[in-house]
Amino acid sequence: MKPVAIFGGTFDPVHLGHLRAAWEAAEYLDADVRMMPARVPPHRPPTRASAAQREALLRAALEGQDRLHIDTRELLREGPSYSVDTLRDLRAELGAQRSLVLLVGADAFAGLDRWDRWKQLFELAHIGVLTRPGLRSEHSAALREAVEPRRIEDCERLRGAPQGFVIDVPVTALDISASAIRAQLAAGRVPRYLLPEALLRDPALLNVYRD
Ligand code: ATP
C-alpha cells in the first residue's frame, strides 16, 4: 500500500504553488496526498473565506486527478487543531503498519520544537520536509538532536516503516502566495495561471475575495 502524506494549510485560496508542491511530494514519495484545510483558531487572523468556501475551492481544484485528495477532519473537529492529535486520529484510522508522512515546509520545520507535544510526532508519522534547492534554515540544538538520527534519503525506507523518519522532499519553488492572489482579486484583477483553471471557470467560487 502506498504511504499516506498529509499537506496542511489554510488554502485561502488553494493555488498552483500548493498543488505543485503536493503533486511533487506525491510523485517523489509514491504516496497518496491528503490536502487538509486547517481550522483557524480564534486567536489567529480569520481567513477571508469560510471553512465551507475553502473546502469548495479545494474540491474544485482537485477535480480531474486521483493522487491528491481532501481530508476535512480538522474543519470538523471542535477546538484547536494540533498536528499531534490529527496524526493520532489518522493513525487509528489507517492502522499501525501504514506509512504516514506529515509534509511541512522547511520554514515550519525549523520551528517544529515549538509545536505542541512535538516529540510525539515522530511516534505517529514520518516527516517530509518540503525543500527548495539552495535554501537552508537554522535549527535549534534540541531539534537537531531529535532529527539527525532519524534522517534518511532513500524513499524505500520510508515506505517500509510506518513512522519515525525525516526525509527532505525537493519541490519546485513557485513564487505564488494566497495573500498576493487575494490582493489581486480585491483589486479586480484576474490571477490566471496562478490558480487552477477550474476556480476561474466558476466565478461564484472566488466572489468572496472580490471587494
Ligand atoms: P498566505 O499567503 O495567506 O500566507 P500561503 O500561500 O502561504 O498563504 P498556506 O495555506 O498558508 O498558503 O500554505 C499551506 C502550505 O503550503 C504551507 O506549508 C506553505 O509553506 C506551503 N506553500 C505555500 N505557498 C507555496 C508555494 N508557492 N510553493 C510551495 N509551497 C507553498
Q: Domains (ranges, CATH) in the chain?
A: 4-173 (3.40.50.620)
Is 105 a pocket residue for ligand 1 (Cβ < 6 Å)? yes
Cα–Cα distance between 161 and 177 in angstroms, integer? 34
Is 122 a pocket residue for ligand 1 (Cβ < 6 Å)? no
Complex ipTM, two decimals?
0.96
Cα–Cα distance between 11 and 7 in angstroms, integer? 10
Q: Sheet containing 4-9: give its strands across.
A: 68-70, 32-37, 4-9, 100-105, 126-131, 166-170, 151-152
> Ligand 1 center to residue 96 CA distance, Å?
30
Taking a C-beta distance cutoff of 8 angstroms, is the pair 130, 103 a contact? yes
Per residue in 24-43, pLDDT (tens digit) is: 999 999 999 999 999 987 77
Residue 195 is which amino acid?
A: L
Is 94 a pocket residue for ligand 1 (Cβ < 6 Å)? no
What global pTM score does this model have?
Answer: 0.95
Task: Give the bridge partners for 6, in sequence order.
Answer: 34, 102
Per residue in 44-89, pLDDT (tens digit) is: 889 999 999 999 999 999 999 999 999 999 999 887 789 999 999 9
Taking a C-beta distance cutoff of 8 angstroms, is the pair 44, 80 a contact? no
